[in-house]
Amino acid sequence: MDQQFDIGVIGLGQMGLAMAQTLVRSGRTVLGYDVSAERCALFAPHVDQVTDVAAHCAVIILSLPNSAIVEQVVGAILPHCRPGTLIIDTSTADPASSRKLAQTAQDSGVSFVDAPVSGGAAGAAAGTLFIMAGGTAAALQQAKPYFDTLGRETILCGGSGCGNVVKILNNALCAAHLALAGEALAAGEKAGLDRQTLAAALAKGSGRSAVFEVNLPRWVMSDAFDSGFTMGLMRKDVRLFDDFANAQGVSPAMLKAASDLWRESKATLSDAEDFNKMVPFAGQRS
C-alpha cells in the first residue's frame, strides 16, 4: 500500500468505529486497524498490521480498552512513526501511563495527547462527544481540528495526563450517580410514588444528573439496557479511580462507598451486563 491517509484509527470497537466513520464523513481519508478481524471487516480500508497505520498516517487516534494495551500499541508503532506524527489517545487510561507515553513519544519526535471522551457511541457517530484533553500547548493545537470534528466541546484540562484525571473523576461520579438513582427510586416507590413519575420529577430538580436526564429514560425505564457500555468497563474505570485516589493520598468517603458497591455487584451482575443495571441493583439492595 503506497497511499498516505489523513488519519489512522487503531481500535475499531463501538467508539473507534463510530469515530472513524465520523472522520470519513468530514472528508478525511481514514485507515483502520483492530486486533479483531471481525471488527476490521466493518471498516474499509483497513490493514492487518498495526505498524502499517504508523507508516501511512501522520495522525493516529487510539480507542483501546485499557492502559496496558495503549502502552503495547504505542510501543509497537513509535519506531514506525515519522517525526511530527500526532497520537491522540481517546482511551480512558491511567494518567501516569499517559504522562509516561507522552514523554516517550516526545523523545521520538512524536506528539501525544490524552483525550478521553464522554458521550458514548451515539456521540461518536454524531460528532458530539465531550473531549477532555491533556498535553503540551503545541500538541493540543495540532489536535484541535480533529477535536472539532469529533466533539461538540473540548476542555483543555492541562498537561499530559490531565485529560485522564478529569475522565476518571467524571466516571467515578457517574458510577456514584447510578447507584444513588437506584436508591432514590427505591425509596420513592416504597412511599407509593409511581416510578416513571418519580424519575421524571427528579430529572427536573436540583438533585438531577445526567443519569436522571439521559440514562433513566433511555436505558433504564425502557428496560432496554443496551447503552453499549458494560459493567466491566465501568468497573475498570472505578478501579482507575481507586488507584488514582490512593496515589493522591485522598480518601473520598462517598465515592469510595460507590466503588465498593460496584465491586460488590460483580457477584450478581457479570462484566458483560449493561452498566445501567447498577440502578436496579442498588435499588434492590437498599
Catalytic positions are 167
- Quickly list DSSP for the chain: ----BSEEEE--SHHHHHHHHHHHHTT--EEEE-S-HHHHTTSSSB-SSHHHHHHHBSEEEE--SSHHHHHHHHHHHGGGPPTT-EEEE-S---HHHHHHHHHHHHHTT-EEEE--EESHHHHHHHT-EEEEEES-HHHHHHHHHHHHHHEEEEEEEESTTHHHHHHHHHHHHHHHHHHHHHHHHHHHHHTT--HHHHHHHHTTSTT--HIIIIIIIIIITTS----S-BHHHHHHHHHHHHHHHHHHT---HHHHHHHHHHHHGGGTS-TTSBGGGHHHHHHHH-
